[in-house]
Amino acid sequence: MASERTVKLKVKRQDGPGLAHYWHEFTVPWHPRMNVISALMAIQKSPVTSDGQKVTPVVWECSCLEEVCGSCTMVIGGRARQSCSALVDQIAPDGKTIVLEPMTKFPVVRDLVVDRSRMFEDLKRVKAWVDLDGFHELGPGPRQSQENQETAYPLSRCMTCGCCLEACPQVNAASDFIGPAALNQVRLFNLHPSGAMHAGDRLDAVMGEGGVEGCGKAQNCVEACPKEIPLVDSIASVGRATTKRMLLGWLLK
């Protein structure tokens, strides 16, 4: 038997990049263990607003549906998070309207879809990879200590979702601060025994304009990160490494 209970959603909409936004409210049937994605799917199936207006279906992005890919990140009730893991009963137990908006620190593509290219460009800027010099047999790689692995593993959980940039006051239209996620990758790959070959390049990439010095130490990032990555520690670690590199550079001049 169909449930009588309903879920109310208010969605911030935008038809394309740079266009004005507007709001639509929807009411969809509730079902047990419903998440925001399934509410959006119900809207897609029947794109009719609460006041009976037939509209274009709401556009959003999703992929893994298990909080690993980061693509379904949006602002839900004022907080950036993944819509796959946002359970309706937890975020609106009293039946209050769930407000969905696109993240504000990235250009809107359409409705709830944003363009996170800047994060991927930043990964290129900091060489967030371990270089290979070919596909020939290289033999076993260098051993990594247990302690090193334990430090590195939590840093490797980043899914480039953008929540930390959304929460960071230093990431704004007037600043070119690279943001916490890329700085965390600098720490991660510089910790790697093979990745450390390019540690200097990574530090150089964040020593200039828009680099680690742009952090205002608000510490919102660590609160916002769904993967509980110790971002403040990563930023502090990269800050110490860049200071050391700068001082060594002066001494060796």
- List contacts with ligand SF4 (CB under 6 A): 158-164, 180-181, 184, 224-225, 227, 229, 231
**Helix 180-191 × helix 146-155 angle, to 10°:** 160
Closest CB 153 distance from ligand SF4, rounded Å:
14
Measured distance CA(241)–CA(235) in Å, rounded: 10
By C-beta, is 161 or 238 nearer to ligand SF4? 161
By C-beta, is 111 or 166 nearer to ligand SF4? 166
Residue 93, token pair as written in the block = 């137990």
Closest CB 228 distance from ligand SF4, rounded Å:
8
By C-beta, is 14 or 160 nearer to ligand SF4? 160
Provide the edge-to-edge strand list for the sheet that holds 98-101. 21-29, 6-14, 98-101, 73-76, 79-82
Measured distance CA(4)–CA(72) in Å, rounded: 28
Are 35 and 85 in contact, with CB atoms under 8 Å apart?
A: yes
By C-beta, is 99 or 225 nearer to ligand SF4? 225
Closest CB 159 distance from ligand SF4, rounded Å:
5
Q: How many CB atoms lie within 10 A of CB 185?
A: 25
CA atoms within 13 A on the CB side of 178: 27
Residues sharing a CB contact under 8 Å with residue 234, sequence separation 6 or more, in sequence order: 155, 180, 183, 184, 186, 187, 188
By C-beta, is 47 or 210 nearer to ligand SF4? 210
Are 85 and 33 in contact, with CB atoms under 8 Å apart?
A: no
Closest CB 135 distance from ligand SF4, rounded Å:
30
By C-beta, is 9 or 231 nearer to ligand SF4? 231
DSSP state of 17: T
Closest CB 14 distance from ligand SF4, rounded Å:
23
Measured distance CA(6)–CA(235) in Å, rounded: 44
DSSP state of 212: G
By C-beta, is 13 or 202 nearer to ligand SF4? 202
Residues sharing a CB contact under 8 Å with residue 50, sequence separation 6 or more, in sequence order: 8, 25, 26, 27
Closest CB 162 distance from ligand SF4, rounded Å:
6
Closest CB 167 distance from ligand SF4, rounded Å:
8
